[in-house]
Chain A
Amino acid sequence: MGGDELNDEQLMSRVTQGDTAALERLYDRYSPAAMGLALKITGDRATAEEVVQETFWRVWRKAESFHIQRGAFTSWVFSIVRNLSIDSLRRRMRAQPIGEAEQSVDQVPDPEADVAEAAWLGVKHQQVRAAIATLPVEQRHVIEMAYFSGMTRQEIAQATGEPLGTIHTRARLALQKLREALLVQGFDE
């Protein structure tokens, strides 16, 4: 992003005051990441589009509920995307056992995306992928099952056949190691 660009929090402050252009700017900045996340979780493009639209509608309508001291804008907006996506996934999976809900969507970065934004998101994507790749496979699986498949710790223990304590340990170690690996990658929230 250019140095004279307003940051996320400054844009959110304007959104709170009813500035639609500020919302549009945030949409341009994060909708590709939001769409990618929703698509990865739901595995369905139409559903992912609905999630993205509802997410930014909530950003608009519930801007007052965003407080910078509670975390970065991206934490907030991605949690909305994830929660809506998981809700949608669960609705679809009612007739399908959770353990079988392996989502596999072939995602390719969109060549039509704004070049600067695409490059910025692309760098983050590569940094995070590289950081995740440093995790032992069993820790990575716990992260994926919890975050991307919306499984509870009990469901993960059941699906993997491992004791709950082992799942707790893997999740905690995975986040610790991921945090360190992101620092090494130079990832900046």
Chain B
Amino acid sequence: MDGHLEELLAFYALGGLTDAERAQVEAYVASNPEAKSRLEAMIQTTSALAYEAAPVKPPAALKKTLMDRVNADARTRSASVRQSPAPGRSRLLGLLQPRAGNWLPHAVAALSLLVALGAGGWALSLSNEIARLQTETNALRQELAAQRRVLAQLAAPNAQVIAIAGTEHQPGAHGQLIADSQTGSAVLVVAGLRPLGSGNVYQFWLIRGNTPVGAGLFRVDEQGQAILQVTQNVTPSAFNAIGVSIEPEGGSDQPTGDIVMLGNVF
């Protein structure tokens, strides 16, 4: 029996530990069935404390709002199941898979090119080609890192996925904001946006009431795809909509160009 960790059990049950302390307790009880049993009894006792507060019936409108949201979600799920088992993820993976598969051809091409150039003694060409490949490799590394961030975000226990769709300006655009409500980190994944000319960028907005807050700038590739690590701390319950607009290079304090994507946070 670990005296220090035993002392923490009651506060674990009462929710009065730091994250690190909680992790220590969880590791302790995982290998100590007796301690686990003691902790479960404490948690059961603690959950009774909720009844200490006098029950208060929430307003009827609250239930209606919740059930409208739930029923809409149930319809969406039902429609999604008819189309594919997991449309959100499969669409995302659809974005990712072709890119992941591009590594091998790039690597083979690079190697072949290096051998050919080396045999011919084209030193200048070789140097240029190496520079080009390094640039391409760096770009692919960045892309892979972005994709890993998305996958990590999806795997987070508190991951919340919010859909965003193209407006009349770019109806073919679609995407998802994947937010971890516990850590506040979020990633925006978009596809179907038109590549912009120089001098313009896409800007992502979190909208609280009528107030948009800039949450990152991005450009899309030739396929209209992009992954943005959102720069603002995202708590989905703290805002009611998300959007994307076209802004001058460097971004704006408020949307000034066309709003090309919008999504509601229910």
Binding site for B on A (CB under 8 A): 18, 20, 23-24, 27, 31-37, 39-40, 48-50, 52-54, 56-57, 60-61, 65, 71-72, 74-75, 78-79, 81-83, 86, 107-110, 112-113, 118, 121-122, 124-125, 127-129, 131-132, 143, 146-148, 150-153, 156, 165, 168, 171-172, 174-175, 178-179, 182, 187, 189
Closest residue of A by beta carbon distance from B54:
A107
Apart from A39-B53, A125-B51, A153-B11, list 18 A-B contacts with CB within 8 A. Answer: A23-B67, A31-B63, A32-B55, A35-B58, A36-B55, A50-B237, A57-B66, A75-B43, A110-B57, A118-B57, A127-B51, A128-B52, A147-B16, A150-B15, A153-B8, A165-B7, A172-B10, A182-B48
Return the contact of A20 from the options B9, B47, B70 (Cβ within 8 A).
B70
Measured between alpha carbons, how far is A81 from B45 in the docked complex, in Å?
Answer: 16
Judge whether A61 and B55 touch: CB under 8 Å.
no
Query: Quick check: which of B71-79, B88-96, B106-114, B217-225 contacts chain A, the rest being far away?
Result: B71-79
- Chain B interface, number of residues (Cβ within 8 angstroms): 46
Judge whether A118 and B71 touch: CB under 8 Å.
no
Binding site for A on B (CB under 8 A): 7-11, 13-18, 40-59, 62-63, 65-67, 69-71, 73-74, 77-78, 157, 160, 237
Return the contact of A146 from the options B15, B40, B41, B67 (Cβ within 8 A).
B15
- Complex A-B: 9 CB contacts under 8 Å: A31-B58, A32-B56, A33-B50, A40-B53, A53-B65, A65-B157, A72-B44, A110-B56, A179-B42
Measured between alpha carbons, how far is A48 from B54 in the docked complex, in Å?
Answer: 13
Q: A31-B57, A49-B59, A153-B17 are known contacts. Are A81 and B47 too (CB-CB below 8 A)? A: no
Judge whether B47 and A71 touch: CB under 8 Å.
yes
Contacts of A27 in B (CB 8 A): 63, 66-67
Measured between alpha carbons, how far is A39 from B50 in the docked complex, in Å?
Answer: 11
Contacts of B56 in A (CB 8 A): 32, 35-36, 39, 48, 107, 109-110
Q: For chains A and B in complex, what number of residue pairs have CB atoms within 8 angstroms? A: 170
Contacts of A146 in B (CB 8 A): 11, 14-16
A-B interface, 10 closest residue pairs, ranked by CB to CB distance from nearest: A32-B55, A36-B53, A40-B53, A171-B10, A75-B47, A146-B14, A78-B50, A107-B54, A146-B16, A110-B57
Contacts of B47 in A (CB 8 A): 71-72, 74-75, 78-79, 189
Judge whether A49 and B58 touch: CB under 8 Å.
yes
Measured between alpha carbons, how far is A30 from B73 in the docked complex, in Å?
Answer: 21
Contacts of B54 in A (CB 8 A): 36, 107-109, 125
Judge whether B10 and A175 touch: CB under 8 Å.
yes
Task: Give the one of A34, A131, A175 with max B CB within 10 A.
Answer: A175
Judge whether A129 and B52 touch: CB under 8 Å.
yes
Contacts of A175 in B (CB 8 A): 10, 13-14, 42, 45-46
Measured between alpha carbons, how far is A56 from B56 in the docked complex, in Å?
Answer: 16
Return the contact of B53 from the options A37, A49, A168, A189 (Cβ within 8 A).
A37
Measured between alpha carbons, how far is A97 from B52 in the docked complex, in Å?
Answer: 25
Judge whether A189 and B44 touch: CB under 8 Å.
yes
Tell me what chain B mostly uses at the interface: helix, strand, loop, or mixed.
Answer: helix
Contacts of B43 in A (CB 8 A): 71, 75
Contacts of B10 in A (CB 8 A): 168, 171-172, 174-175
Judge whether A82 and B55 touch: CB under 8 Å.
no
Closest residue of A by beta carbon distance from B55:
A32
Measured between alpha carbons, how far is A36 from B50 in the docked complex, in Å?
Answer: 8
Contacts of B63 in A (CB 8 A): 24, 27, 31
Contacts of B70 in A (CB 8 A): 20, 23, 57, 60
CB distance from A12 to the nearest CB of B (A): 14
Measured between alpha carbons, how far is A122 from B54 in the docked complex, in Å?
Answer: 8
Contacts of A179 in B (CB 8 A): 41-42, 44-45
Q: A39-B53, A113-B55 are known contacts. Are A71 and B40 too (CB-CB below 8 A)? A: yes
Judge whether B66 and A53 touch: CB under 8 Å.
yes
Contacts of B69 in A (CB 8 A): 57
Return the contact of B66 from the options A56, A74, A172 (Cβ within 8 A).
A56
CB distance from B100 to the nearest CB of A (A): 27
Measured between alpha carbons, how far is A74 from B45 in the docked complex, in Å?
Answer: 11
